[in-house]
């Protein structure tokens, strides 16, 4: 059994500008097909607009609120909201207040699969 504690994970900044703590991924478990991380963004900041060629993502908001832009469609997200980000979809999220969310990627997140304008 592989159990990881969020508090034991070292934060890092992804290529899009969010601060991530990997909960389960290739770096800390024998993960093959998905990854789970906590992401945070300070109020009034955004991730850099990007897409992933291969990975499909879910964002699940835990705290705060944010404006999600997914291929030009905008929606305000609040705690308890989940959004599907298909592979190839341009996306960014702007924190309207300090934001904390879970990010799930399949296949697992990698910097090499993150592309910018």
The two tokens of residue 7 are 């508090």
pTM, rounded to two decimals? 0.92
pLDDT score recorded for residue 105: 97
Asked whether 16 and 48 are in contact (CB, 8 A), the reply is: yes
Is 27 a domain residue?
Answer: yes
Between 30 and 15, whose confidence is greater? 30
Is 3 a domain residue?
Answer: no
Asked whether 39 and 101 are in contact (CB, 8 A), the reply is: yes
Q: Angle at CA 9, nearest 5°, toward 3 and 14?
A: 125
46, β-bridge pairs: 94
Report how many domains make up the chain: 1
pLDDT in tens, 76-105: 999 999 999 999 999 999 999 999 999 999
Is 112 a domain residue?
Answer: yes
Mean pLDDT of 70-80: 98
Residue 17 backbone class (left: φ over 0; alpha: ψ -120 to 50; beta: rest): left
Return the percent helix, strand and coil in the chain, to nearest 5: 5, 45, 50
CATH number of the domain bearing residue 77: 2.60.120.10
What is the largest distance, in Å, between two alpha-carbon atoms of the chain?
A: 42
Is 17 a domain residue?
Answer: yes
The two tokens of residue 82 are 């989940």
pLDDT in tens, 18-66: 899 999 999 889 999 999 999 999 999 999 999 999 999 999 999 999 9
Is 5 a domain residue?
Answer: no
Is 4 a domain residue?
Answer: no
pLDDT band, very low/low/confident/very high, at 9 (cuts 50, 70, 90): very high
Is 6 a domain residue?
Answer: no
Q: Is the pLDDT of residue 15 over 90?
A: no
Is 103 a domain residue?
Answer: yes
Range of the domain at 42: 13-116
Asked whether 91 and 62 are in contact (CB, 8 A), the reply is: no
pLDDT score recorded for residue 114: 93
């Amino acid at each position: 059994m592989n159990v990881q504690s969020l508090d034991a994970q070292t934060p890092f900044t992804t290529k899009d500008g969010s601060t991530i703590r990997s909960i389960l991924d290739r770096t800390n478990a024998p993960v093959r097909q998905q990854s789970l991380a906590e992401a945070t963004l300070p109020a009034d900041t955004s991730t850099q607009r990007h897409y992933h060629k291969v990975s499909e993502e879910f964002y699940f908001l835990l705290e705060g609120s944010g404006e999600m832009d997914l291929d030009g469609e905008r929606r305000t997200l609040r705690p308890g909201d989940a959004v599907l980000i298909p592979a190839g979809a341009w996306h960014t999220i702007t924190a309207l207040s300090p934001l904390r969310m879970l990010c799930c990627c399949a296949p697992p997140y990698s910097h090499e699969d993150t592309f910018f304008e």
